[in-house]
């Protein structure tokens, strides 16, 4: 045997090698296993993909719940003449809907050509377009992308999937799958024409425009049906990138895309070569630039009337339709509503012009109130906010009102510098000055409840839904409440009349040592009727009238008159003088006085007549619900007393007397303590107007108490003149009668007695509600024969006798002193000189027998015309008999 090295190597190769047959078998098994694995992976992957896609589809919205109909539209507000005065646009709502039949073919085809050329062929998904887009992306390694979404998919993306603004790739894929799934279903429900109509009304076309009609107006200042091919191609070119292809800000990018639009339209046979060349030669961008200069984008703010209308519509949507406040605002700003208001443009202009006329405030120093907001981001990134209150506190200022506009700038500058000394940066700052004193005005048609005009403030309005002093500010109504809280219920149900009398003398609130004083100071006018209490605005007479009537009717009537700001703490005698814990608004006070002007019928003040939805259906309608809150006789009596307030020289509103003396006119003035609030509310047979003047920060206007009267007068005079209102008096209802009364007791006047009263006749022909005429005669006047020599009651031997009329009255007041002891004190009024004294009732001490005179009995001070004046504080000289009111 050979065991050479070569033999050994040969044997090793022979026994160490694998037979070829065995190798083939192994390879076959390996291939089989690999194929099985591939199939298994494919099947598993298929199941995974299927399950994933199915899961995504299962999460898609139900097709029946999908709403592709455009819902965000501009809301229009119209005045009483039907003129559009405001367009209200919320986010995603700047849209004007147009039906497909009103959109020209050239516009439809422009969008189809660039966005979905097989729109009329596919069933919701363009498979060819998808493969083409994928192939282009693959060849360009992602550098080039082509859209594959059909118009149907784009419509779903905009209306259902919030514009496709996903934050992750996974979310985008999920949305795309659901979008395609729903697109197929959608095409089985809606026609191609419906889908195209909705699409053309929802597409974002830049410059905050949605839909082709809004875009046509924005870029070309024309309606969509007036667009040329050139213009239509510009708008269609915007779609892919509303910001980047904006023809105003990026005309070059838009032009490149527009070229593709026109090219596609030619290839698809929508246009001819000549039409293409004509469009390409059109200098359309120069025209867009010119239009953009002409069109002024509305940056103005709402008027006070529009703000008030919006707030009332929102309130009614909540109360009548069950909306939440957020839902109501969203619906109003994006629901495409048409709101028809009662605003009378003539009256509104009158109010605006009068309030803007600085001559109305001549001699009254203007002040400027600072409103300040500062936001600073410190070194740690924390945001800190400051207001004018922080400035005031830092410098110890009494208020933020200054004599000149800009008077606070020095403080603001120092404040900001100090807050930034440790670093940080200003991220926001607002400095505003509001002119003071401020005013508010409400004008209302009392017969309909329509608010025809309001002014919510003086000076430039700087924002929407800002402070509206006519509807939002609650201020102390002062003496305006005398009529509403006291005289109205007293006359209506408590058995009192305009002839009823209270004594205007020293007086304290019931169960209190707090003295009630008249607005003119510590002097008294004596026995006074309720009529006089109204036109002279007498505090003491009013509080006494409320005490006599009781508190319960006052509260009930105020609520019936629409005053909603009352609280339980207002249930006290201060309400007679308008002392409220929260105050009242100009609008509600106007509504209350309008009820008097409307013969006792209250109608809630309203700013709008109806609200229509986008389809013209009535959403809200002002049905002018009314209620009789007082008798027509009561309304007339109050009206007549307030007529005196304007026309009597001794009345409080004489300076506001209207120029047309033949026009029925009535008013009531009011002022709060220290004249913080100055009011006048009044009416003619046509309109009720209330004016307030004061400082936003409580500040006295003493010295300018009558400055608001000419403003009210100017407004009402101009309304009468420019509205060409026919002069007419107030109607006297059948429930009114008259009687002649004595104004010192309210009872029937006695001829030869009341008309001969010292100080002048106290006889008046007074109006009464039927059934309330007094049946008793005057019992406060008495006529006595007086000895001219002594001033004492004439005896049978007095040679010189005159007849004199005296007033029977007790002028004393009881009060608890500091030790709780009840004391009685005499006071002095305008009646005091005419009161029947004990001396006048004492038989003459001089002429005691025929021809006999006792000189020592004659007292100095007597005269032929006037009995001796009784000095207050001497009970022996004053009768304890007689009525005190």
- 720-749 residue pLDDT tens: 999 999 999 999 999 999 999 999 999 999
Picking from 674, 669, 672, the residue whose alpha carbon sits closest to that of residue 708 is: 669
* Helix or strand run (H / E) with residue 7: helix 5-16
Helices and strands in the chain, H and E counts? 26, 26
Residue with tokens 């001794």: 650
Q: Does 4 have pLDDT greater than 60?
A: no
Residues in the chain: 885
Whole-angstrom distance, CA of residue 105 vs CA of residue 110: 8
φ/ψ (deg, to 5) at 586: -55, -45
Window from 88-92, 474-478, 655-659, 869-873 with minimum mean pLDDT? 869-873
**How confident is the model over 295-323, as a mean pLDDT?**
89
Picking from 672, 670, 708, 678, the residue whose alpha carbon sits closest to that of residue 593 is: 670
The pLDDT of residue 876 is 29
Q: Which listed CATH number (3.40.190.10, 3.40.50.1110, 1.10.260.40, 1.10.3810.10) goes with 90-294?
A: 1.10.3810.10
Is the dihedral angle over the CA atoms 766, 771, 775, 780 positive or is it negative?
Answer: negative
Whole-angstrom distance, CA of residue 186 vs CA of residue 198: 12
Question: 203-234: per-residue pLDDT in tens?
Answer: 989 888 889 999 999 999 999 999 999 999 99
Provide the strand spans (E) within 168-290: none
- Say if CB 115 and CB 126 are below 8 A apart: no
H-type helices in 239-344, by residue range? Answer: 251-267, 273-281, 284-294, 304-321, 325-334
User: Of the segments 72-76, 232-236, 369-373, 706-710, which one has the largest average pLDDT value?
Assistant: 232-236
Whole-angstrom distance, CA of residue 484 vs CA of residue 500: 17
**Strand pairing report for 507-508 and 515-516:** antiparallel
Helix (H, G, I), strand (E, B) or coil at 516: strand
**pLDDT band (50, 70, 90) for residue 135:** very low
Whole-angstrom distance, CA of residue 769 vs CA of residue 498: 10
- Secondary structure of 536-592 in HEC code, one letter for each residue: CCCHHHHHHHHHHHCHHHHHHHHHHCCCCCCCHHHCCHHHHHCCCCCCECHHHHHHH
The alpha carbon of 819 is separated from its chain's Cα centroid by a whole number of angstroms, namely 52
Q: Does 872 have pLDDT greater than 80?
A: no
Between 164 and 609, whose confidence is greater? Answer: 609
Between 3 and 799, whose confidence is greater? Answer: 799
Q: Does 494 have pLDDT greater than 50?
A: yes
Picking from 325, 589, 634, the residue whose alpha carbon sits closest to that of residue 471 is: 589
Whole-angstrom distance, CA of residue 473 vs CA of residue 467: 8
- Say if CB 865 and CB 789 are below 8 A apart: no
φ/ψ (deg, to 5) at 774: -65, 150
Angle at alpha carbon of residue 353, lines to 351 and 357, rounded to 5°: 120
What mean pLDDT, rounded, does the chain reach? 86
The pLDDT of residue 125 is 82
The pLDDT of residue 95 is 83
The alpha carbon of 672 is separated from its chain's Cα centroid by a whole number of angstroms, namely 23
- Say if CB 182 and CB 60 are below 8 A apart: yes
- Say if CB 504 and CB 516 are below 8 A apart: no
Is the dihedral angle over the CA atoms 737, 740, 742, 747 positive or is it negative?
Answer: negative
For residue 205, what is the DSSP state?
-
Residue with tokens 């443009």: 345
Whole-angstrom distance, CA of residue 180 vs CA of residue 53: 12
The pLDDT of residue 850 is 85
Cis-peptide into 196, omega within 30 deg: no
**pLDDT band (50, 70, 90) for residue 153:** confident
Tell the burial category of 165 from Cβ atoms under 10 Å away from its Cβ (0-12, 13-18, 19+). exposed
The pLDDT of residue 883 is 27
The pLDDT of residue 33 is 64
Whole-angstrom distance, CA of residue 123 vs CA of residue 150: 10
- Say if CB 504 and CB 518 are below 8 A apart: yes
Question: 537-592: per-residue pLDDT in tens?
Answer: 999 999 999 999 999 999 999 999 999 999 988 888 899 999 999 999 999 999 99
Whole-angstrom distance, CA of residue 242 vs CA of residue 352: 41
The pLDDT of residue 879 is 29
* Helix or strand run (H / E) with residue 214: helix 212-220
The pLDDT of residue 510 is 86
Structure tokens at 457: 């403030």
For residue 780, what is the DSSP state?
S
Question: 662-672: per-residue pLDDT in tens?
Answer: 999 999 999 98
Question: 6-38: per-residue pLDDT in tens?
Answer: 454 455 445 445 555 555 665 666 666 667 667
The pLDDT of residue 185 is 78
Q: Does 869 have pLDDT greater than 90?
A: no
* Helix or strand run (H / E) with residue 603: strand 601-603
Tell the burial category of 883 from Cβ atoms under 10 Å away from its Cβ (0-12, 13-18, 19+). middle
Window from 126-140, 400-414, 626-640 with minimum mean pLDDT? 126-140
**How confident is the model over 408-433, as a mean pLDDT?**
89
For residue 475, what is the DSSP state?
B
**pLDDT band (50, 70, 90) for residue 71:** confident
**How confident is the model over 78-105, as a mean pLDDT?**
89
**pLDDT band (50, 70, 90) for residue 871:** very low
- Say if CB 803 and CB 755 are below 8 A apart: no
Q: Does 634 have pLDDT greater than 60?
A: yes
The pLDDT of residue 13 is 47
Between 66 and 167, whose confidence is greater? Answer: 66
Q: Does 84 have pLDDT greater than 60?
A: yes
Instruction: Return the percentage of the chain with pLDDT > 70, whole number.
Output: 82
Question: 798-818: per-residue pLDDT in tens?
Answer: 999 999 999 999 998 877 766
- Say if CB 427 and CB 265 are below 8 A apart: no
The pLDDT of residue 90 is 77
The pLDDT of residue 670 is 92
Residue 162 falls in which region: left (phi positive, over 0), alpha (psi -120 to 50) or beta: left
Whole-angstrom distance, CA of residue 516 vs CA of residue 482: 14
Question: 589-622: per-residue pLDDT in tens?
Answer: 999 999 999 999 999 999 999 999 988 999 999 8
**pLDDT band (50, 70, 90) for residue 157:** confident
């Amino acid at each position: 045997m050979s065991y050479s090295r070569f033999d050994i190597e040969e044997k090793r190769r022979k026994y160490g090698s694998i037979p070829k047959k065995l190798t083939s078998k192994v390879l076959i098994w390996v291939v089989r296993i690999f194929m099985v694995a591939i199939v298994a992976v494919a099947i598993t992957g298929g199941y995974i993909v299927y399950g994933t896609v199915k899961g995504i589809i299962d999460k898609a919205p139900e097709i029946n719940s999908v709403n592709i109909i455009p819902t965000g539209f501009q809301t229009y507000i119209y005045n009483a003449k039907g003129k559009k005065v405001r367009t209200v646009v919320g986010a995603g709502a700047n849209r004007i809907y147009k039906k497909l039949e009103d959109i020209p073919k050239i516009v439809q085809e422009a969008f189809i050509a660039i966005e979905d050329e097989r729109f009329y062929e596919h069933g919701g998904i363009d498979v060819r377009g998808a493969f083409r887009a994928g192939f282009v992306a693959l060849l360009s390694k992602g550098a080039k992308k082509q859209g594959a979404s059909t118009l149907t998919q784009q419509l779903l993306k905009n209306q259902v999937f919030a514009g496709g603004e996903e934050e992750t790739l996974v979310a985008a894929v999920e949305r795309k799958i659901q979008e395609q799934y729903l697109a197929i279903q959608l095409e089985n429900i809606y026609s191609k024409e419906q889908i195209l109509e909705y699409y053309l009304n929802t597409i974002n076309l830049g410059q905050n425009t949605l839909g082709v009609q809004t875009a046509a107006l924005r870029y070309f200042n024309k309606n969509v049906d007036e667009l040329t091919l050139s213009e239509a191609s510009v708008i269609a070119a915007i779609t892919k990138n509303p910001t980047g292809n904006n023809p105003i800000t990026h005309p070059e990018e838009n032009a490149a895309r527009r070229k593709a639009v026109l090219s596609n339209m030619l290839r698809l046979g929508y246009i001819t070569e000549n039409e293409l060349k004509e469009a390409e030669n059109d200098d359309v961008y120069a025209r867009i630039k010119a239009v953009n200069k002409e069109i002024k984008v509305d940056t103005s703010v709402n008027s006070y009337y529009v703000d008030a209308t919006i707030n009332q519509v929102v309130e009614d949507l909540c109360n009548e339709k069950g909306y939440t406040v957020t839902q109501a605002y969203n619906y109003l700003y994006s629901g495409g509503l048409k709101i028809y208001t009662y605003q009378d443009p003539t009256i509104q202009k009158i109010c605006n012009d009068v309030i803007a006329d600085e001559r109305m405030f001549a001699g009254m120093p203007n002040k400027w109130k600072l409103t300040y907001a500062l936001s600073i981001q410190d070194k740690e990134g924390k945001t800190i906010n400051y207001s004018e209150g922080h400035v005031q506190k830092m410098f110890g200022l009494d208020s933020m009102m200054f004599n000149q506009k800009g008077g606070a700038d020095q403080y603001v500058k120092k404040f900001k510098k100090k807050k930034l000394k440790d670093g940080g940066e200003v991220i926001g700052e607002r400095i505003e000055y509001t002119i003071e004193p401020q005013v508010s005005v409400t004008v209302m048609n009392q017969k309909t409840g329509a608010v025809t005009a309001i002014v919510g403030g003086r000076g430039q309005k700087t924002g929407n839904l800002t402070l509206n002093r006519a509807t939002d500010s609650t201020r102390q109504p002062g003496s305006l409440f005398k009529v509403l809280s006291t005289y109205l219920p007293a006359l209506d149900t408590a058995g009192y009349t305009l002839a009823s009398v209270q004594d205007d003398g020293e007086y304290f609130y019931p169960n209190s040592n707090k003295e009630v004083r008249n607005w003119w100071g510590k002097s008294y006018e004596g026995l006074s009727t309720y009529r006089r209490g109204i036109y002279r605005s007498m505090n003491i007479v009013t509080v006494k009238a409320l005490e006599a009537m009781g508190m319960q009717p006052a509260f009930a009537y105020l609520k019936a008159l629409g005053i909603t700001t009352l609280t339980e703490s207002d249930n006290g005698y201060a309400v007679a003088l308008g002392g409220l814990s929260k105050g009242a608004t100009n609008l509600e006070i106007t509504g209350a006085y309008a009820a008097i002007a409307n013969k006792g019928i209250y109608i809630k003040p309203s700013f709008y007549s109806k609200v229509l939805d986008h389809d013209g259906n009535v959403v809200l309608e002002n049905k002018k619900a009314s209620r009789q809150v007082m008798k027509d006789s009561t309304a007339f009596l109050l009206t007549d007393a307030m007529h005196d307030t304007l026309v009597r020289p001794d009345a409080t509103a004489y300076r506001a007397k209207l120029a047309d003396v033949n026009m029925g006119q009535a008013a009531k003035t009011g002022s709060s303590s220290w004249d913080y609030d100055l009011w006048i509310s009044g009416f003619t047979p046509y309109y009720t107007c209330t004016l307030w003047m004061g400082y936003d920060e409580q500040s006295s206007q003493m010295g300018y108490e009558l400055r608001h009267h000419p403003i009210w007068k100017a407004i009402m005079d101009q309304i009468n003149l420019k509205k060409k209102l026919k002069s007419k008096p107030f109607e006297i209802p059948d429930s009114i009668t008259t009687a002649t009364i004595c104004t010192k007791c309210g009872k029937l006047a006695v001829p030869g007695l009341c008309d001969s009263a010292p100080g002048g006749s106290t006889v008046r022909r007074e109006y009464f509600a039927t059934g309330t005429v007094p049946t008793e005669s005057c019992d406060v006047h008495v006529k006595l024969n007086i000895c001219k020599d002594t001033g004492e009651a004439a005896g049978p031997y007095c040679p010189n006798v005159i007849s004199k009329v005296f007033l029977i009255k007790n002028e004393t007041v009881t009060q608890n002193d500091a030790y709780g002891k009840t004391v009685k004190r005499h006071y002095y009024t305008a009646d005091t000189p005419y009161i029947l004294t004990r001396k006048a009732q004492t038989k003459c001490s001089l002429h005691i027998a025929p021809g006999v005179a006792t000189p020592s009995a004659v007292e100095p001070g007597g005269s032929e015309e006037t009995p001796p004046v009784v000095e207050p504080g001497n009970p022996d000289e004053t009768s304890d008999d007689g009525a005190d009111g």
